[in-house]
Structure 1
Amino acid sequence: MTSSILRFTLFFIAASLHFSGVSAQNKPQTACPPAQAMKAEQLHGLWAVRFNPPPTGLPARATMRLERHAEFTESLAGTVSRELGAPTGAAPAAGHAAIAALAGDLEDGLLMLDESSDNLSITGTWNGEMVEGSCGRMFRGTWKDTSSGAPANAPDVPFTLTRLPRRP
Structure 2
Amino acid sequence: MPSPSGSAACTPAKQLKPTQIHGLWRVRFQPAPQGLPADARMLIERHAEFSDSVAGHVSRDLGPATGNAASRAGHASRAQLAGDLEEGFLTLDESSNGVSITGTWNGEMVEGSCGKKVVGTWKDVSSSAPANAPDIPFTMEKVSGW
Calculate the TM-score normalised by the size of structure 1.
Answer: 0.80
Q: 1:68 & 1:27 partners in 2: Cα distance?
A: 34
> Partner of 1:49 in structure 2?
27
Residues 149-168 of structure 1: CA deviation (Å, up to 9, x unaligned): 0000000000000000126x
Is residue 77 of structure 2 the alignment partner of residue 79 of structure 1? no
Letter in 1 for 2:111: E
Tell me: CA distance 1:150–1:35, structure 2 relative to 1, closer, same or farther (3 Å): same
1:22-101 superposed matches below 5 A: 27=4, 31-85=9-63, 87-88=65-66, 90-92=67-69, 93-101=72-80
> Partner of 1:22 in structure 2?
none
Which contiguous aligned blocks of 4+ residues in structure 1 show a shift greater than 2 angstroms? 26-30
Task: Report deviation, 1:30.
Answer: 5.9
| Structure in which a larger fraction of residues adopt helix | 1
Letter in 2 for 1:62: A
Asked whether the 8 Å contact 1:59–1:86 carries over to 2, the reply is: no
Q: Which has the larger radius of gyration?
A: 1
Between the two proteins, what is the percent identity of the paired residues? 62
* Corresponding pairs, count: 141
Residues 118-147 of structure 1: CA deviation (Å, up to 9, x unaligned): 000000000000112111100000000000
RMSD of equivalent CA atoms = 1.4
Tell me: CA distance 1:86–1:67, structure 2 relative to 1, closer, same or farther (3 Å): farther
1:108-123 superposed matches below 5 A: 108-123=87-102
> Partner of 1:124 in structure 2?
103
* Structure 2 unaligned blocks of 5 or more: none
Asked whether the 8 Å contact 1:105–1:112 carries over to 2, the reply is: yes
Q: 1:27 & 1:100 partners in 2: Cα distance?
A: 42
Comparing 131-140 with 76-85, greater Cα deviation is found at: 131-140
Q: 2:52 & 2:145 partners in 1: Cα distance?
A: 21
Letter in 1 for 2:68: A
| Structure in which a larger fraction of residues adopt strand | 2
Q: 2:144 & 2:129 partners in 1: Cα distance?
A: 33
Q: 2:24 & 2:64 partners in 1: Cα distance?
A: 21
Is residue 135 of structure 2 the alignment partner of residue 152 of structure 1? no
* Structure 1 unaligned blocks of 5 or more: 1-25
Task: Report deviation, 1:91.
Answer: 1.7
Where relative contact order (Cα < 8 A, 6+ residues apart) is larger, the structure is 2
